[in-house]
């Protein structure tokens, strides 16, 4: 299948190639060259800067469903990390120039400076519908010198050559990526200045977003962020009132060392809170399985129901895997015949019924699949940080 391009004068040809042989024409945008990754779509109408700098998007080519991207430029306050993590960026109609009082640079300048290959002028609605129908898959963006001779004619030989390059890359299932995005050294985020008796949180960085420790610090926590390979002895030495596992990329089934670390935390009785990848690891630590979603949840408009209160929250998501746990009643956690007692599914996605939260009933631990710290997205879930702080104080 080949989609017509949306012309942009003065730009060279770029091709978005999917492993199933689909090719979408567009124009070179950002850096020229070749990039490979799993292609996914994000439904957020705002917050592209946060999306680009979210480590959870490592090794993914992101398609923005909102048609107009780049109109607010980029600034130095909103990034979620120190660099852009997406493998590639696909947009329909990039802004010709930024128009916002907070903008410091044009979006394309950041993409080019950091070597992020992008493509514009693509019918992103068609790409999104294709992913919705056929699932997330391996893909590549090719422009400039990365295009083979005769690419403008898109012959069968050109198509076969590019599809072979795309299909040769590893898939996301089985990928262990947290160590690639984690911090190299521990650091501390101080609590709000007016706090006299802060709780101490050790946050394990599996791809943490900057806003997460900021949310905890604003509620009176002294946050010690540690690398993904931190040991339990190192964590215990910090004297935590609670341990937090962050979001991050990759397949939770590969994270055996991180799961062993989490079990040591649960065995110690230290309160635990996990989000996104941390939620998936919590599920596996309890003995549940995880599985890959067909096309995942990514965006800032996902409705989630709290099964205890009945409240529906609009939430931000970025995940391609989910926990396989029974909904509707508490069950004994399967690991080692109930070593961690009873657990219940606390939240579900109203679009497809995916498990969005777990609550342990016999130990101080809970998790959610979504992002309560979302900067560009809704803030409905921020109360979960209050809940974690209260849990730590109660278990001191």
Q: Report the first-to-last Cα separation within the chain, whole angstroms.
A: 60
What integer is the mean pLDDT of 23-48? Answer: 94
Q: Does 336 participate in catalysis according to the annotation?
A: no
**Residue-level pLDDT at 376:** 73
**Residue-level pLDDT at 197:** 86
- Residue (of 288, 363, 366, 371) closest to 324 by Cα position: 288
**Residue-level pLDDT at 299:** 87
Beta strands in 8-155 (DSSP E): 13-18, 23-30, 34-42, 60-64, 68-69, 88-90, 93-94, 117-120, 137-143
Binding residue numbers for L-glutamine:
56, 248, 250, 277, 280, 318, 320-321
Per the CB < 8 A criterion, the answer to whether 210 and 374 are in contact is no
Strand duo 199-204 + 221-226: pairing: parallel
What integer is the mean pLDDT of 48-67? Answer: 95
Q: Does 371 participate in catalysis according to the annotation?
A: yes
Q: Phi and psi (nearest 5°) for 341?
A: 75, -155
> In the chain, what percentage of residues exceed pLDDT 70?
97
Q: Phi and psi (nearest 5°) for 127?
A: -65, -45
Whole-number average pLDDT of the chain: 94
- Residue (of 250, 300, 247, 351) closest to 38 by Cα position: 250
Kindly name the residue from 276, 279, 319, 356 that is annotated as catalytic.
276
- Residue (of 63, 16, 67) closest to 42 by Cα position: 63
Position 7 confidence tier, pLDDT thresholds 50, 70, 90:
very low
Q: Is the model's pLDDT at 114 over the cut of 90? A: yes
Kindly name the residue from 80, 313, 356, 373 that is annotated as catalytic.
373
Q: What domains, with CATH codes, occur in the chain? A: 2-167 (3.50.30.20), 178-394 (3.40.50.880)
10 CB-near residues (< 8 Å, 6+ apart): none
Per the CB < 8 A criterion, the answer to whether 219 and 372 are in contact is no
- Residue (of 329, 322, 321, 364) closest to 346 by Cα position: 329
Per the CB < 8 A criterion, the answer to whether 306 and 381 are in contact is no
Q: Is the model's pLDDT at 5 over the cut of 60? A: no
> In the chain, what percentage of residues exceed pLDDT 90?
89
Binding residue numbers:
56, 248, 250, 277, 280, 318, 320-321
Q: DSSP for 305-327, please give it.
A: EETTT--EEEEEEEEEEEEE---
Strand partners, 105: 74
Q: Is the model's pLDDT at 4 over the cut of 60? A: no
**Residue-level pLDDT at 1:** 41
Q: Is the model's pLDDT at 231 over the cut of 80? A: yes
Per the CB < 8 A criterion, the answer to whether 9 and 108 are in contact is no
Q: Is the model's pLDDT at 246 over the cut of 60? A: yes
Cα–Cα distance between 217 and 191 in angstroms, integer? 4
Positive or negative torsion for Cα 261, 55, 369, 38:
negative
Cα–Cα distance between 240 and 216 in angstroms, integer? 13
Beta strands in 96-177 (DSSP E): 117-120, 137-143
Higher pLDDT, 61 or 43: 61
pLDDT tens column, 130-181? 999 999 999 999 999 999 988 999 999 999 999 999 999 999 999 999 999 9
What integer is the mean pLDDT of 342-352? Answer: 97
Question: Cα torsion for 346, 350, 356, 359, to the nearest 10°?
Answer: 0
Per the CB < 8 A criterion, the answer to whether 80 and 53 are in contact is yes
Q: Does 319 participate in catalysis according to the annotation?
A: no
Position 248 confidence tier, pLDDT thresholds 50, 70, 90:
very high
pLDDT tens column, 174-215? 999 999 999 999 999 999 888 888 999 999 999 999 999 999
Position 10 confidence tier, pLDDT thresholds 50, 70, 90:
low
**Residue-level pLDDT at 158:** 93
Q: Give the largest Cα separation in the chain, rounded.
A: 69
Q: Phi and psi (nearest 5°) for 134?
A: -115, -5
**Residue-level pLDDT at 45:** 84
Q: Is the model's pLDDT at 380 over the cut of 80? A: yes
């Amino acid at each position: 299948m080949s989609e017509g391009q949306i012309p942009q004068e003065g730009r060279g040809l770029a091709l978005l190639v999917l492993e199933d042989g689909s090719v979408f024409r567009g124009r070179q945008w950002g850096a020229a060259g070749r990039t490979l990754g799993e292609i996914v779509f994000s439904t957020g109408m705002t917050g592209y800067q946060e999306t680009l700098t979210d480590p959870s998007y490592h090794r993914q080519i992101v398609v923005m469903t909102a048609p107009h991207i780049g109109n607010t430029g980029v600034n130095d306050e909103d990034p979620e990390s120190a660099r852009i993590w997406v493998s590639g960026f696909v947009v329909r109609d990039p802004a010709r120039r930024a128009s916002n009082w907070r903008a410091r640079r044009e979006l394309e300048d950041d993409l080019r400076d950091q070597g992020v290959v992008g493509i514009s002028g693509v019918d992103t609605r068609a790409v999104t519908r294709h992913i919705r129908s056929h699932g997330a898959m391996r893909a590549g963006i090719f422009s400039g010198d990365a295009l083979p001779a005769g690419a403008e004619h898109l012959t069968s030989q050109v198509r076969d050559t590019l599809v072979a390059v795309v299909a040769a890359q590893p898939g996301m299932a089985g990928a262990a990526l947290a160590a690639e995005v984690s911090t190299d050294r521990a650091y501390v985020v101080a609590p709000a200045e007016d706090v006299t008796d802060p709780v101490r949180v050790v946050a394990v960085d599996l791809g943490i977003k900057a806003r997460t420790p900021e949310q905890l610090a604003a509620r009176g926590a002294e946050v010690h962020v540690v690398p993904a390979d931190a040991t339990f002895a190192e964590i215990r030495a910090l004297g935590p009132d609670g341990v937090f596992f962050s979001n991050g990329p990759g397949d939770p089934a590969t994270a055996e060392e991180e799961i062993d670390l989490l079990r040591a935390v649960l065995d110690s009785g230290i309160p635990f809170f996990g989000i996104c990848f941390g939620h998936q690891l919590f599920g596996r630590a309890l003995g549940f399985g995880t599985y890959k979603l067909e096309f995942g949840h990514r965006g800032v408009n996902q409705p989630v129901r709290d099964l205890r209160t009945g409240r529906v929250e609009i939430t931000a998501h970025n995940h391609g895997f989910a926990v396989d746990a029974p909904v509707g009643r508490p069950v004994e956690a399967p690991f080692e015949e109930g070593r961690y007692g009873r657990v219940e599914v606390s939240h579900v996605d109203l679009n497809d019924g995916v498990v969005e939260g777990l609550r342990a009933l016999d130990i101080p631990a809970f998790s959610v699949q979504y992002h309560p710290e979302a900067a560009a997205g809704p803030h409905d879930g921020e109360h979960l940080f209050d809940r974690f702080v209260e849990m730590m104080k109660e278990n001191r």
